[in-house]
Amino acid sequence: MKVELEPGIYVLAVSGGVDSMALLDVLRRRDDLRLVVAHLDHGIRPDSDIDRRLVQKVADKHGLVFVYDQANLGSDASEATARRARYKFLHRVQQATSADAIVTAHHQDDLLETAILNLLRGTARKGLTSLADNKNLRRPMLHLAKDEIIKYANKQDLKWREDTTNQDMKYRRNYVRENMVKKLSAKRRSQLVKLLSEAKIKNQEIDLQIANLLQFVSKGKEINRQFFIALPHAVALEVTAAWLRHNDIRQFDKKLLEKLVKDSKTLSAGKQIDINARHFIKVTKGNLALMQRERY
């Protein structure tokens, strides 16, 4: 099983499932890597402590640093809540260990599931390629199908734990996995993978163009309003999203973007547009200024 990762220090997220246990087995054989095995017990299942003991046993066997924490989220926790807790923990471990990046065991099936889920949610173009590999969050198995990972794990006689919540159809991701991704023919799967690969390239090109445009019309926390008003609606949406991300505001959806663009173009000077509890846009005749409330 071929996995590419540059030499360095990495926080490796290991849940105890087959994907992360296989990735752990591959990477622990590399002499040019220093691994910190990180495990978060979400506290969603009553038997989740068994997962932690398995991961710790394997880490200890191979002389790897093992770090874990317990979240106690409860059985009603959503996927989004669990994800936020997990990445908060992983970033905390990365900071404490001065690691180069976090590594997760996301694979090709996860890539397809995420794209389909985002389409169902009605997300824009970036939803198709939101699960990606970057310098701070490495996902070196995105080219591998789940079947390939299971074959490797069986060949190496690895031990892993099956998460029983993966069979719970109340989670939309599980429904998509069982009723859509697993039912794709080899041909359809290949076509979808190719489409997502092409979308990734196009998104990168669009992002570059938007970044250049944003640099031209904005000065940090301000955007030239007259220029913004003249932008086509679709372009204004993209510029607004990029402007927010550039200023570390990432929790927004299409509905909010539509409101921000409409109000930014039509409200009179002196008005303000709420973004969230902490931030708002101040409308002036010449500019749109991103402001932060003193108390929130």
Q: Which fold has domain 8-183?
A: Rossmann fold (3.40.50)
Angle at CA 143, nearest 5°, toward 106 and 192?
A: 100
The CA distance from 269 to 182, in Å, is 54
- Name the residue ranges covered by the structural domains of the chain: 8-183, 188-292
Within the chain, which residues score under 50 in pLDDT?
none
For the domain with range 188-292, which CATH number is right: 1.20.59.20, 1.20.120.330, 1.10.260.30, 1.10.486.10? 1.20.59.20
The CA distance from 239 to 290, in Å, is 14
The pTM score is: 0.83
Q: What is the pLDDT of residue 24?
A: 98
Q: What is the pLDDT of residue 223?
A: 94
Q: What residues are paired with 282 via a beta bridge?
A: 272, 289
Which among 215, 278, 270 has a CA at the least distance from the CA of 289? 270
